[in-house]
Amino acid sequence: MPGKFDKSEVVANDAKAEAALKSKIDAADDEDEADFLKLSHEIALLEADLDKVNERKKNIQLINDQVGGWTRRVGEKLTE
């Protein structure tokens, strides 16, 4: 696919990615190709955001498991 954006290219440097997007859009042959480039860029940004959300979710689940285990042990001690 011509001009498709790599997620690492977009995430690495937003200003640089925006400049690359603008130059690719300016070089696009027609409006459909320009729209494709814009949407590819947006997809890469959304995938990067999704990765961040998934990492945060994983960390929250780890903390929840730790707190849940601690709470269970405290409850067991209280019932003894």
pLDDT bracket for residue 6 (50, 70, 90):
low
Say if residue 20's pLDDT is above 90.
Answer: no
Q: What is the pLDDT of residues 22-54, one digit of tens each?
A: 888 888 788 888 898 889 989 999 999 999 999
Nearest CA to 19 out of 41, 2, 44, 35 is that of 41
* CA pseudo-torsion sign 28, 33, 35, 36: negative
Write phi, then psi, for 13 (nearest 5 degrees): -160, 110
pLDDT bracket for residue 66 (50, 70, 90):
very high
